[in-house]
Amino acid sequence: MTNTGGGDPRPRGRWWREGAITATAFALCLLGGVVKDDGSTLSPPTAVAYFVALVSCAVLPVRHRAPLTAMAVTTASGVLAPFLGLLLSPLIAVPAVITAYSYALTARTERRAASAVALISVALLVASTPLFGALSWKDASRVGAVAAFPLVAGVLGHSVQNRRAYLAAMEERALRAEQSRDSEARRRVAEERVRIARELHDLVAHQITLANAQATVAAHLFDTRPEQTRKSLEELVETTSDALDDLRATVGLLRQSGDAEPAEPAPGLSRLPTLLASFRRAGLEVTVHQEGTARPLPPGVDLTAYRIVQEALTNVTKHAGTGSARVRLAWNRDRLTITVADDGGGVRTAPTADRPPGYGLIGMRERATAVGGHLSAGSRPEGGFLVSTQLPLPPAKDTARGTDGATTIKARTADAAAVDRETGDAL
């Protein structure tokens, strides 16, 4: 049924059900008010019968919100029925039976439900037992039914409550099992991706080593044996082509369905001014000092240098409590030294609860180690915090090569750079 009223998901269905239960109980209670124990013909209900039926059934709609109150009213109505000249039969006790069932269905503990239902049965038993005269078999059966019906209703309500709790537990268990299966599947996928990445590393390392050896032979024989040089270059092109094919295939496996393609090349130190401008807009004044002659970096080292500066300045913004920082780039013959320091003017705050202490430092250290570098971080004696890293550089002659060479080799080099960016994103 469509919910148009808000709140309760089935308001109309619930009110129809409550109305049907109340009307049925009222009719049965009213019928019990005209029953006589002498077997005489039924007469129209009296005002007293209407009063008892109306009072008993008026509290039934609120038995879920105030169960104890509903039980007290229905039980008291049944107990007062004999004193008002009515025969206390199971029909008059129907409202009390309904409230006993509802209370047993929602009671927090089994002991509390049993005590309340037993109290109803005892009260009705005492009220229905004749005080004077012998107790006939007919009276005994009526008294037994009046006392037993609330007990049966209580047992039935408690059974339904246990059944609902069992079904809820089974549903929750099934949901947890499904979540566990999903988690296990994701874990296995992640392990498989790591295994593929390791195999990729071994395969590419072997092919790059072979390509390096072929290039070395070609360079050595370039002047003395041109024909052998051409053969070595052809083998080098074939080796690099195989390496690129393996990279594409493996990166395709590592990429999950739905992964976005990189919209721009991996960042490097060439984008450092843009990065510093973003921190200045955030309120952190950054000064940059360079020593030595800057030169092009390998893609992996360039990306690592950029990420280390980015993470170090982010840590200054989050934890240093200061408004300024200094970045120093020192270019040497075989290494690049990067230092990021804050002035120690503020109080260094603790990391947030959702990020363990040292997470950023661990990431920076792993990046530096991955390209053969070294990173250290800690407090300075004069105050503040310092992050320092040394990244290896290729010899200067390797970065100053001429532009001449085979067009095929140039194309393969550009293609390898693109695949290197894809590999970095996937791993």
Instruction: Provide the pLDDT for residue 427.
Output: 37
Phi, psi of 289 (to 5 degrees): -130, 125
Measured CA to CA, the distance from residue 339 to residue 188 in angstroms comes to 39
Instruction: Provide the pLDDT for residue 330.
Output: 94
**H or E stretch covering 288:** strand 285-291
pTM of the model: 0.40
29 exposed, middle or buried (CB, 10 Å; 0-12, 13-18, 19+)?
buried
Measured CA to CA, the distance from residue 28 to residue 42 in angstroms comes to 14
Instruction: Provide the pLDDT for residue 392.
Output: 92
Q: What is the DSSP string of 141-185?
A: HHHHHHHHHHHHHHHHHHHHHHHHHHHHHHHHHHHHHHHHHHHHH
Report CA-CA distances (Å) from 90 to 98, 195, 244, 358: 12, 75, 88, 74
Measured CA to CA, the distance from residue 212 to residue 227 in angstroms comes to 19
80's tokens? 């007062």
Phi, psi of 86 (to 5 degrees): -105, 155
Measured CA to CA, the distance from residue 266 to residue 262 in angstroms comes to 8
| Closest C-alpha to 279, from 320, 245, 242 | 320
Instruction: Provide the pLDDT for residue 3.
Output: 44
Q: Which residue has the tokens 């000249």?
A: 85
Q: Which residue has the tokens 């000064």?
A: 287
Measured CA to CA, the distance from residue 337 to residue 334 in angstroms comes to 10
Instruction: Provide the pLDDT for residue 199.
Output: 66
Dihedral (C-alpha) 4, 7, 8, 14: value to the nearest 10 degrees? -60
Measured CA to CA, the distance from residue 177 to residue 171 in angstroms comes to 10
| Closest C-alpha to 249, from 200, 188, 293 | 200
Dihedral (C-alpha) 141, 147, 148, 154: value to the nearest 10 degrees? 170
Instruction: Provide the pLDDT for residue 254.
Output: 59
The beta-carbon contacts of 209-213 under 8 Å, at least 24 apart in sequence, are 210/239, 211/236, 211/239, 211/240, 211/243
**H or E stretch covering 224:** none
The beta-carbon contacts of 374-380 under 8 Å, at least 24 apart in sequence, are 375/308, 380/341, 380/344
E strand spans, 299-366: 324-331, 335-342
Instruction: Provide the pLDDT for residue 239.
Output: 72
Low-confidence ranges of the chain (pLDDT < 50): 1-10, 263, 346-358, 398-427
Q: CB-based contacts of 61: which residues, under 8 Å, 6+ apart?
A: 18, 22
CB count in 10 Å sphere of residue 423: 19
The beta-carbon contacts of 281-287 under 8 Å, at least 24 apart in sequence, are 282/317, 283/317, 283/323, 284/313, 284/316, 284/317, 284/323, 284/324, 284/325, 285/323, 285/324, 285/325, 286/313, 286/324, 286/325, 286/326, 286/327, 287/324, 287/325, 287/326, 287/327
Phi, psi of 53 (to 5 degrees): -65, -40
